[in-house]
A and B are shown apart, each in its own frame.
Chain A
Amino acid sequence: MTMPLYVPPEQIIKDRADFAKRGVARGRPAVVVSAAEGVLLAASNPSRALKKLSEIYDRLAFAAVGKWSEFEALRVAGIRYADLRGYSYDRIDVSARGLAGAYAQSIAAAFTGDPKPLEVEVAVAEVGASQAADAVFHVRFDGSVSDELPWAVLGGAGPSGRQALADGWRPGLTLAEAGQLARAALVSEGGGQDGFEAGLLRREVLGRAFARLEALP
């Protein structure tokens, strides 16, 4: 009788995390930045058809990096989650917090339970009545969530993008300034050579606030 080879759980988690990190780092980065006019989403994306940013609901949007097929499934599930919740209750009852929690659970379950972890990082952004009410939830490949910052850098090769935003972001940032900051962060993470994708959750718009932008402001 042969005994199965013992692998300590620390090693399993580390192997899975390394695998997911490598997968995420292969993709081009994306950023979410809260600004005075709304919440700006920007991604380095050469494709015009395969989007990394998306409308989710009235005041909610989605950004992702990693494997397109995997985050596309999460995006669609997020739209379904939001639409069903809004239909069952009311449109104002759909929040980024709820969706980020659901994403975190799903991604965490895949990280430990599935044959392979999801190679994605996603952000759920919500525009508030004022900038203080904006929310940016960043969900990583292992399901860990953070929401303490009014911006997020997804994917990328190193810490330089985060540094650019940590240094440059301040409350009341205009959309143009946020655009420059987003561009600097994306470029410093090795993105942006072959085109940007951008979208804005417009603060002053009632109803569906998300709009795609032709170019990064």
Chain B
Amino acid sequence: MSGLPASYFGPGNSFLEFVRQAAPETLAGVTGLNGQDVAGTSNSGGRPGLAQTASATTIVALAYKDGLVMAGDRRATVGNQIASRDIEKVYPADSWTAIGLAGVAGLSLQLVRLFQLELEHYEKIEGVALSLRGKANRLATMVRAQLDLAMKGLAVVPLLGGWDGTRPRIFAFDVTGGSYEEREYAAIGSGAVFAKGSLKKLHRPAATARTAIRAALTALNDAADDDAATGGVDRARDIYPVVARVDSRGYHRVPDGELARALFSRGGEPKGDRS
């Protein structure tokens, strides 16, 4: 007689913990916890897997008067080649939280899927959503579980921004699972240094959403200017960064038309310090 296996009736509210027991094969190479390192077994010599994996790039997040903006560029690279011009790296983790990822593309997308499920799973089982700090801590644990892969050069680093019921909060992470709350702005990825320099000048805590969107886009363009692995606004192909707003009404993606207006309403390409 089949039916639901015993592991389905165990305690706990974590999807990841459950899958580790019930179906570890679906996590192979993702969590680094079950000895099956699929991503690291490709035959590229030297550092395993590195030469064949697409990686992704610059994500910025900044708080404004009554919400936060998170933006990510659209480029994925493999070595010195461009693997994708329209990859998306900013996602809703749930209806109140945005997550962006820098690092190996395949693992990033997998981490997003798992994290989205983790939050949904908890909410369905417990009947209430996790607190924002709870979400950040959960994500930190998931990143830390991938430390083995990070040490092999397959790092994934997320950026989390959410509405905690009264105000926006931003959490940055490192590969060891360290979680750091940022008060005003944060950037991750290969172009983060340039983006942060830009945000330092452009960021206004009391700004409107539109000004914040413009600052985020300008920071990404600054990063794209100096970092080959970050893509800027591609007007020829009409490809814009993914920009998400999280405020008291929750997560919503900003349409490309609004991005174009925020960027170009004063005419001309945005360059460096102008806002």
Of A14-22, A28-36, A38-46, A76-84, the segment with at least 4 beta carbons within 8 Å of chain B is: A76-84
Chain B neighbourhood of A216, CB < 8 A: none
Does A83 lie within 8 Å of B9, measured CB to CB? no
Instruction: Tell me the count of chain A residues lying within 8 A, CB to CB, of chain B.
Output: 25
Chain A at the B interface: SS class: helix
Chain B neighbourhood of A77, CB < 8 A: 4, 8-9
Is A181 interfacial (CB-CB < 8 Å)?
no
Chain B neighbourhood of A86, CB < 8 A: 117
Does A81 lie within 8 Å of B1, measured CB to CB? no
Residues 1-48 of B contacting A (Cβ, < 8 Å): 1-4, 8-9, 15, 18-19, 22-23, 26
Is A95 interfacial (CB-CB < 8 Å)?
no
Chain A neighbourhood of B23, CB < 8 A: 84, 88
Given A73-B9, A81-B8: A102 and B124 within 8 A (CB)?
no
Chain A neighbourhood of B124, CB < 8 A: 54-56, 79, 83
Given A51-B127, A56-B124, A83-B15: A105 and B8 within 8 A (CB)?
no
Find A113's partner among B1, B4, B19, B26 (CB 8 Å cutoff).
B1
Is B125 interfacial (CB-CB < 8 Å)?
yes
Is B222 interfacial (CB-CB < 8 Å)?
no
* Binary flags per residue of A152-196, CB closer than 8 Å to B gives 1, else 0: 000000000000000000000000000000000000000000000
Does B4 lie within 8 Å of A83, measured CB to CB? no
Chain A neighbourhood of B117, CB < 8 A: 83, 86-87
Is B121 interfacial (CB-CB < 8 Å)?
yes
Q: Could you pull out 22 A-B pairs where Cβ atoms are within 8 angstroms?
A: A73-B9, A76-B125, A77-B4, A79-B124, A80-B8, A80-B18, A80-B22, A80-B121, A81-B8, A83-B117, A83-B120, A84-B22, A84-B26, A87-B15, A87-B26, A87-B117, A88-B23, A88-B26, A105-B3, A106-B4, A109-B3, A208-B120
